[in-house]
Amino acid sequence: MCKKVWMCTWLKLWTVRVSNNLYPWQAGLWQSLAGRSQQAHAYLLHGPAGSGKRALAEHFAQFLLCKAPQSEQACGQCSACKLYAADTHPDLARLEPEEEGKGILIASVRALVAKILQTSQQGGRKVVIVEPAEAMTTGSANALLKSLEEPAGSTIFLLISHQFSFLLPTIKSRCVLQVCPLPSEAESVQWLQQQSELSEEQCRTLLALASGSPLNAQKLLHVDVLAIREQVVTGVKQLFKQQSSPSDLALAWAKIPPELLFDWFCQWAQLILRYKISEDESQLGLPDMGVVLKHVAPRAPLALLLETQDWLLEHRQKVLRRAPLRADLLLEGLLVRWQALLPR
Ligand SMILES: [Zn+2]
């Protein structure tokens, strides 16, 4: 079964359906969760975005609520499974930011804590999914701590985190930590080929553009990302040849999601730095930019390169958090810095 949700990044340009079905690469993960002789009261599923943590948490939630699980799977037939399928299970709560990209409010945590103090309506467990856990402010995390440590009744918390390092140690220490890594490239490409009519090479390119995440690569199929990529790569070449100015390109790229641009420029800065140190041509990323990066690497002043990389990472975080920024000025600032990497 599926439910419609909005994605929390630029991929949220369209409605996607998040299934609670496990992905092929999650068999081992599932065994380590469902196969436990005794369930913990809090789990923290953490790993890169697009590794399938939400689907895993949903699958686990249904399993924990099911009244007659069989062979370490929810039965799909009992009243709890039917309520879950209809998204009306009264003992399942989801704690999320009220507004995308914002923090989880203390008021939301307090309302949740009051709810889980009540008796389970179905007479079984209560399950709370918190996503993303790093959206909890210090205040809201503190408001949740006592419930995490001593959950009321048989409540089980499933926290999902895409940015583990942002979580308070007090939250981490109260949960069973379950890392959810991305699948291997071979597994991802095989899965993508099953989901599309693309060739193996096209799947590899898509996967690279999605930073190795097969789920994000699948979403990229919905936009003409290969055409956007070509436009951006051409623009960067023109920028270095002084054929386009930063302000021209910022204008031309106005409709491209800034998150996508920052992803690519962060990757390119890293590749330039890596090549500058190693001179290993296999480390130049996708072929479309390889020649450019190889040309820039020996010429870019190291201090400037490091400074640019810091700036990119800092502003990428701001973009991901939807900080109030003027997109045109931000993009122009990025391109001015980028152009300076290749001194005239
Ligand atoms: Zn069931």
The C-alpha atoms of residue 46 and residue 159 are separated, in whole angstroms, by 8
Interval between CA 62 and ligand 1 midpoint (Å)? 8
Report the pLDDT value the prediction gives residue 258, as an integer from 0 to 100.
86
Alpha carbon of 177 to ligand 1 centroid (Å): 26
Gap from CA of 158 to ligand 1 centroid (Å) = 19
d(CA 207, ligand 1 centre) in Å: 36
CA of 28 to the centre of ligand 1 (A): 22
| Cα–ligand 1 centroid distance for 81 (angstroms) | 4
Ligand 1: distance of its center to the CA of 307 in Å? 55
83 CA → ligand 1 middle, Å = 9
Query: How many angstroms does the Cα of residue 102 sit away from the middle of ligand 1?
Result: 34
| Confidence at residue 14, expressed as pLDDT on a 0 to 100 scale | 31
pLDDT in tens, the chain (344 residues): 333 332 323 333 333 335 678 999 999 999 999 999 899 999 999 999 889 999 999 999 999 999 999 989 999 999 999 999 999 999 999 999 988 778 899 999 999 999 888 888 888 899 999 999 999 999 999 999 988 988 777 899 999 999 999 999 999 999 999 999 999 999 999 999 998 888 898 899 889 888 889 998 988 887 778 889 999 999 999 999 999 999 999 999 998 888 889 989 999 999 999 999 999 988 888 888 999 999 999 999 999 999 999 999 999 888 877 777 788 889 999 999 999 999 87
Q: How far is the CA of 25 from the centre of ligand 1 (A)?
A: 24
Q: Residue 221 has what pLDDT?
A: 81
Measured in Å, residue 330 CA sits from the centre of ligand 1 at 51
User: 157 CA distance to ligand 1 centroid (A)?
Assistant: 19
Per-residue model confidence (pLDDT) at position 11: 34
Distance 181 CA to ligand 1 centre (A): 28
Do residues 139 and 106 make contact, with C-beta atoms less than 8 angstroms apart? Answer: yes
Q: How far is the CA of 38 from the centre of ligand 1 (A)?
A: 18
- Is the CB of residue 122 less than 8 Å from the CB of residue 80? yes
CA 24 – ligand 1 centroid, Å? 22
Residue-wise burial string across 312-323, b where 16 or more C-beta atoms lie within 10 A, e elsewhere: beebbeebbeee
Q: Could you tell me the sign of the dihedral formed by the alpha carbons of 113, 119, 121, 124, in that order?
A: positive
Please tell me the distance between residue 92's alpha carbon and the centre of ligand 1 in angstroms: 14
Distance from residue 86's CA to the centre of ligand 1 (Å): 13
Closest CA to 175 of 223, 235, 133, 212: 133
Q: What tens digit of pLDDT does each residue of 241-261 get?
A: 999 999 999 999 998 888 889
Among residues 174, 252, 182, 253, the alpha carbon closest in space to that of 217 is found at: 182
* Structure tokens belonging to residue 40: 């913990």
Q: How far is the CA of 77 from the centre of ligand 1 (A)?
A: 5
Q: Where are the beta strands (DSSP E) in the chain?
A: 2-5, 16-19, 42-46, 92-95, 126-130, 155-161, 176-179
Q: Ligand 1 centroid vs 68 CA: distance in angstroms?
A: 5
Check residue 321 and give its pLDDT. Answer: 73
Q: Residue ranges of the alpha helices (H) in 53-172?
A: 53-65, 79-85, 106-117, 138-149, 169-172
